[in-house]
Structure 1
Amino acid sequence: MTDRVLILGGRGRIGGSVARDLLTHTQAEILITGRTPAQMQDNTSLEYMALDLAEVEKLRQAIASVNLVVHCAGPFHYRDANVLKICIEHGVNYVDVSDHRSFTIKALQYHEKAMAAGVTAVVNTGIFPGISNSMVRHDIEQFDIPEKIHLSYLVSGSGGAGITVMRTTFLGLQNPFEAWIDGRWQTVKPYSEREVVEFPSPYKRSGVYWFDMPETFTLPHAFPAVKTVITKFGSVPDFYNHLTWIAAHVFPKSWIKNPKGVEFLSHVSHAMTDFTDQFTGIGVAVRSEVTGQKNNQQAVYCSTLTHANTAAAAGCGTGSIAQFLLEGTLKKPGVWPVEEALPTDLFTKAMQSRGVTIQANWQ
C-alpha cells in the first residue's frame, strides 16, 4: 500500500522544500495544500488541494485520507493545535515545523492522548529548531554531566524563505520571554545582549542576539542536568541586525504588536532581502556549544553546520523525520520535541544521506 503524506502549507518555500525532500527519499504520494487554487507540475506523486485550516470538515477529510501529516502552515504564533488533535482522532502520525513556544506548549498538552492513540507526533522540526536540537542532543551525549547549552543561528538575507518567516521574526520581538539561566527561569528581552560568535566559513565572526525559540524551554526539559540554555539569532549582512534591534528597542511597541505594523515591516524586509540575497546568498549557519564535565574535568564540545539554502536545510530536517515515520524506523507514541524523539544514530544517518555535513570537536 502506497504511503500518502499531507503537507499543509506545501506551497510555501519551507513546505515546498519538505515536499522535494520526500519525493527524493521516499515513494510516498504527496498531497500539498494552500489557501488558493494553483496548477501543479505534471508529477504523479504530487497532488494539490486548496484548503484553509479554518475549513475544519475539509481538513478532517484530508487528514483521514493519509497516514502522515506535515504541518508547515505558519506563522505558528497564531495557530492552535487543532491539526494535531484531528490527527490523533484519526490515528495519523504528525510532524510540524513550528517555531514558537506558545504553539509548542499547546501541542505538548496532547501528549497523553497521542500515546493512547498510538500516534507519534514530532514538533519543532526543520533547521532551527530541528536539526539544531539534534546537534545539541549529539553534543550532550559526549558528556558525563552537561551544564550549559549555547545555540547560535545565523541566516543570510531571506534564507530562501518567504514572507511568513519575516512575520515570524517580527512577531518574535513582541514580548520578553523566559530563559533557563543558572538553574532558574529569568526574563530576557528579545534581540538583546549582542554577542560575537565564531561560525564556519564563509560567515566567520558574526553578531547574534537573544531570540525566543521553543528550544529555550524544551531543551531544559529534555536534559534536566543542564543549568543554562542560551538561544541567539543573527542576520547577514550585519546592518539587518541593527535594523531589527531598532525595531525591538526603539520603535513604539504599538508598531510591533499591531498586525498591520508586522505586515508592513515584514513586506519591507522581504523586499530588502530579495535585493541583497544576490550578494549575500540565502544560507544558514548553526553553532551548538555544550559545556560540562567529562572525566571529572570541565570541557567544551562544539558542533557546527552550514548550508547554502536555509529553506532547503529545513526541508532536510523535516523530511528526514517524515521519512523515518513512514518507514516505521521512528515510532514513539506521544507528542515530542525533536530532541526527545530522534535518536542520534538516525539523525546521523539522515544528514549523511542528504549530504549535510556537521563538524564537531572538543574545544
Structure 2
Amino acid sequence: MTNRVLILGGRGRIGSSVAQDLATHTQAEITITGRSPVAEGDYAKWLSSKNNWNLGTNVQFLLLDLAEVDKLREAIANSDLIIHCAGPFHYRDTNVLQICIEQGVNYLDVSDHRSYTSKALEYNEKAVAANVTAIINTGIFPGISNSMVRQCVEQFDKPEKIHLSYLVSGSGGAGITVMRTTFLGLQHSFEAWINGNWQLVKPYSDREIINFPAPYGRSGVYWFDMPETFTMPHSFPSVKTVITKFGSIPDFYNHLTWIAAHIFPKWLMQRRSTIEFLSHVSHFMTDVTNPFTGIGVAVRAEVTGMKDGKTGIYCANLVYANTALASGCGTGSIAQLLLEGKLQKPGVLPVEEALTTDLFIQTMASRGIEINHNWLEN
C-alpha cells in the first residue's frame, strides 16, 4: 500500500526541498499544502519548473490554511505521515501535533524555536499513549546538527561540553520565512546552559572565530537561540555547557545583524512590521550577493569530555552547497525511516533522542552527505 505524506507549508523553499527528497528516496504519495492557489493545475510541473526538479507524478497540491481546523483534521486523517513546514514557529501553536496524536498519525516538523519546542514536548506522554512517533526540530540546524552531536557524544565516557557553530552563505537557498526567523531570534535574551546553570545570553553576542572547512575557513559566529540550546542539556545529562552560535557569509551581514540586535530599540524590533521590512530587505540583498557567495551551509559540532580517564575533544564537520536542500535531506531522511518502519519511537522527541547514529549514518550516505570526524589536541 502506498504511503501518503502531507507536507504543511510545502510551497516554501524548505517544504519543497523536503518534497524533493521524499520523491527521490520513497514511493510515497505526497500532498503539499499552501494558503493560496497555484495557477497551473499540475503542481508537480509547477514546482519542477521553479526548481528544475523532477518530482514525477506523485505530488499533489491542497489549498489549506491551518486555521481551517475541520479541513486540516480531514487532511491529517487521510495521511500516514504529517510534516509541518509552515513556519515561522515562533507564532505557531501545537494544534497540528495535537490532531496527529488524536488521529494516531506520525508527525515531523522543522521547528526552530524553543517556544514551540517547549510546548510540543508537553505532549510526550499523550503521544506515547497513542503510539505516535512525533519528532521535532528536523532539518539541517536543528536536525542533522543534532545527530552530529549525538555521534560525537557517543565517543566519550562522560561528555561535558557541546559547542555547535553554524554558517550560512547568502540566503542559503531559503525564502522570506527563514529571514523572519533570524530577526525574530534577535528580539529577546535567552537562557543557555553554561557551567551547569541556566544563564541569560544576549542574541548575536560574543563573536567567535571558528575554523570551518573549505571553502569557508575562519569565519565569525555569534550566540543564537536554537532549540538545541534547550533540548541537549536534557538529552545528555552529564553535559554542563551547550553553546549554539550562528554566522553569515559575507561577513558584513553579521555586522548588520549585530546592529539590529544591539543598536535598534527593542520596541522597534518587537514590531511585526519591522520584522517584515528587515526580512524583505535582507532577502533582496542576498539575491544580489548569492551569485558571489553561493547558498551553502557549514555545520561544526565539537564535544569535549572524558574518555579513558583523559579529557578529549571530538569534532564533526559538514559542508553542503545548498542550505535549503540540506534541510530537505535532514527531514526527508527521517520521514523515509518512519515510512519504511525502521524508526518507531512513540513520544514527542528532539532528533538527538529519536534517531540512532547507525540510521543517521546510513541515510546521510544514501544522500551523498559527507561528515568528517577527527579528534583534536586538547
2:75 corresponds in structure 1 to: 62
Q: 1:200 aligns with which of 213, 220, 232?
A: 213
Matched-pair contact (CA < 8 Å) for 2:6–2:79: yes
Post-superposition offset of 1:44? 2.4
1:35 corresponds in structure 2 to: 35
Q: Give the counterpart letter for 1:251 in structure 2.
A: F
2:235 corresponds in structure 1 to: 222
**Where do 5+ consecutive residues of structure 2 fail to align?**
46-55
2:113 corresponds in structure 1 to: 100
Matched-pair contact (CA < 8 Å) for 2:298–2:319: yes
**Where do 5+ consecutive residues of structure 1 fail to align?**
none
Q: Give the counterpart letter for 1:265 in structure 2.
A: L
Identity within the alignment, %? 73
1:145 corresponds in structure 2 to: 158
CA distance in 2, matches of 1:98, 1:317: 13
SS at match of 1:226: coil
Please, what is the CA RMSD of the aligned residues? Answer: 0.6
Find out whether 1:332 has 2:345 as its counterpart.
Answer: yes
SS at match of 1:20: helix
Q: 1:276 aligns with which of 261, 281, 289?
A: 289
SS at match of 2:171: coil
CA distance in 1, matches of 2:221, 2:342: 36
Kindly tell me the number of residue pairs found equivalent between the two proteins: 363
CA distance in 2, matches of 1:297, 1:118: 42
1:281-360 map, 5 Å: 281-360=294-373
Matched-pair contact (CA < 8 Å) for 2:140–2:330: yes
CA distance in 2, matches of 1:326, 1:358: 25
CA distance in 2, matches of 1:148, 1:112: 29
1:23-68 CA distance string (max 9 Å, x none): 0000000000011001313542011011110111110000000010
SS at match of 1:2: coil
Find out whether 1:118 has 2:131 as its counterpart.
Answer: yes
TM-score with structure 2 setting the length: 0.95
CA distance in 1, matches of 2:136, 2:262: 31
CA distance in 2, matches of 1:343, 1:139: 12
Matched-pair contact (CA < 8 Å) for 2:44–2:57: no
1:56-108 CA distance string (max 9 Å, x none): 11100000000100000000000001000000011000000000000001110
TM-score with structure 1 setting the length: 0.99
1:341-363 CA distance string (max 9 Å, x none): 00000000010000000000101
2:5 corresponds in structure 1 to: 5
Q: Give the counterpart letter for 1:180 in structure 2.
A: W
Find out whether 1:129 has 2:147 as its counterpart.
Answer: no
CA distance in 2, matches of 1:167, 1:286: 21
Find out whether 1:189 has 2:202 as its counterpart.
Answer: yes
1:115-173 CA distance string (max 9 Å, x none): 00000000000000000000000000000110000000000000000000000000000
CA distance in 2, matches of 1:158, 1:256: 21
SS at match of 1:41: helix
Matched-pair contact (CA < 8 Å) for 2:14–2:327: yes
Runs of 4+ in 1 over 3 A off after TM superposition: none
Q: Give the counterpart letter for 2:80 in structure 1.
A: N
Post-superposition offset of 1:253? 1.0
CA distance in 2, matches of 1:41, 1:362: 45
Post-superposition offset of 1:254? 1.7
